[in-house]
Structure 1
Amino acid sequence: MDSDINHIGQRIRRLRRESKMTLLEVATASSLSVGFLSQVERNLTGISISSLVNVAKALSVPLGTLLEHPRQAQPDSHEGRRESYQVGPMRQKYERLSTTFNGSLLNAVKVQMMEGYSSEWVAHSGDEFVYVLSGKVRYTLRKKDYELTAGDSLHFDAQHRHRVVNVGPGPAELIAVGTLPLFDDGHAEFESLSRAPKSRGMTAAKKTSATAAPAPSAAPAPHAARKSTRAKSVSAKKTPR
């Protein structure tokens, strides 16, 4: 997954320009500042996976277009055998804990937060639950700080702007569980985006076909017209006076 680290910003910028969207439009739709998104595009800072999901939605692309993440078809995962991945040049690593299936809502990751890490301000739909395994972190939510150490947890409405900072002397590890679709495999929301271009094209074709003007009736052939005229003339002569 390391091959993605230095290319996420470039992908965001390329897709934004292809969509003819401004930095302001994408930043606003993603609940980010223009300055922060500009730094992400230039690979000057990292971006949290939650914000990356918002950016993917703003650009109407599947999350996998911006970030390659591990697939997990089986329901179980095991310590030491999971693949870790990063989102851009940031000091945070993720391990996928959850699978996806028809109707599944929860997404879970194990987060390794390096010393000094501070996230951007984030807001997104759904619930978020965190459980600290080790270290010390501080979540700021609705102008209130929550300091958490090993064994502590926090459950909140993630549509309110929030951020997390590692305030401990070393790395911190935590489990994050939420309803935000962190993986696009098996999630209808992202699968519909991957099918959208094709669907829009098919819809447009059907609409064009349905609204097309009917073809004009073919004009009668010249010899057919002459036969019709002669027939009428003969009929007129035979009509009794």
Structure 2
Amino acid sequence: MPEDTTARNTGETSAALSSVASQLRDLRKRSGLTVEAAALRLGLSPAHLSRLETGQRQPSLPMLLTLARIYGTTVSDLLGETPPERDPVIRASVTGSVGADGWTYRQAGGSQRAMQALRLHVPRTVRDVLVRVHAGEEWLHVLTGRLRLTLGGKEHTLEPGDSAHYDSQTPHRISAVSPGGADLLFVHTLLQSHASDLCVGGGERPTSLGAGRRTSPPEGDDRAE
């Protein structure tokens, strides 16, 4: 009988997301943050962050990206993936995909770098999505489908082949316009890496890092993300 790869991949994804909980508390403490301070930066309630740290709730892919950014690591490291460090070539054969809430990500860059490169599948979202504001820069390039990018109060529709490069301090959000979603390459700076500090600049980091402005209920609200 043929192997059910869908069931296998679903199981692997669930196991990977479950393993995140064991790392979140250690990463937060290593960053010198209390639950309250970390929750503020993430735009969560302290209770919601505690549930993530104890495994009572699993983070969505957008939340994984925010967690990785705030704690100065990568989604790949959060999920316990071990690509060869400092290898300049990332082989498709050794990078798996992880999905949550319709979002799918595949690692497209090395670990322990000042930037994180990902290949993303963004689902079409009919409800409002999280608007993010944080230090750093982001770059994206649309591969397939049509993407809606909102920067500040201006909305842009990107077609395949279009790119965008913007300051992450500008309130921003992305969603797919195409019914089947959109695929894109996505690169963002990591806030707590030493190389990223040079780009971001000195001084105290704002308390709103990664918290974002919301048009949807807060993460602590179980109605929606």
> What is the TM-score when the length of structure 1 is the normalising length?
0.56
**Structure 1 unaligned runs (5+)?**
191-241
The Cα of 1:153 is off from its aligned counterpart by: 1.0
Alpha carbon RMSD of aligned pairs, Å?
3.9
Partner Cα separation in structure 1 for residue 74 and residue 87 of structure 2? 22
Task: Give the corresponding residue for 1:230.
Answer: none
**What's the counterpart of residue 145 of structure 1?**
155
Distance in 2 (CA, whole Å) between partners of 1:16 and 1:45 is 15
Q: Which residue of 2 aligns with 1:83?
A: 95
Identity %: 21
Distance across 1 between alignment mates of 2:20 and 2:115: 25
1:129 alignment partner, one of 139, 142, 149: 139
1:21 matched to 2:31? The reply is no
Task: Write the distance in 1 (CA, Å) between the matches of 2:81 and 2:133.
Answer: 22
Aligned partner of 1:34 in structure 2 is 45
Higher fraction of helix: 1
Q: CA deviation at 1:115?
A: 3.8
State the distance in 1 between where 2:47 and 2:125 align: 18
| Structure 1 residue corresponding to 2:60, chosen from 14, 31, 46 | 46
Q: 1:67 corresponds to which residue?
A: 79
Q: Is the 8 A contact 1:112 1:171 kept in 2?
A: yes
Return the offset for 1:122: 2.5
2:105 paired residue number: 94
- What pairs with 1:3-14 in structure 2 (closer than 5 Å)? 3-8=15-20, 12=24
What is the TM-score normalised by the length of structure 2? Answer: 0.60
Any idea what the Cα deviations from partners look like across 1:53-111, whole Å, max 9, x if unmatched?
24435xxx897774323424421234x42423337x4322222222357xx64431111
Q: Whose RCO is larger (CA < 8 A, sep 6+)? A: 2
Structure 1 residue 29: deviation in Å? 2.3
Q: Deviations over 1:126-170 (max 9, x none)?
A: 211100000122122212212112111111001333221122110
* Equivalent residues, number: 177
Cα distance, 1:100–1:21 mapped onto 2, change above 3 Å: closer
Matched residues in 2 for 1:64 and 1:96: separation?
7
- In the alignment, is residue 109 of structure 1 matched against residue 123 of structure 2? no
The CA distance in 2 between the partners of 1:97 and 1:119, in whole Å, is 25
SS of the residue 1:43 aligns to: coil
Which AA in structure 1 matches 2:39?
A
Deviations 1:110-132 (A, max 9, x none): 11223438753323322111000
**SS at the partner of 1:110?**
strand
Q: Do the aligned residues in 2 keep the contact of 1:125 with 1:180 (CA within 8 Å)?
A: no
Partners of 1:51 and 1:122 within 8 A in 2: no
d(CA) in 1 for partners of 2:180 and 2:71? 32
Unaligned runs of 5+ in 2: 1-11, 197-225
- Secondary structure, aligned partner of 2:125: coil
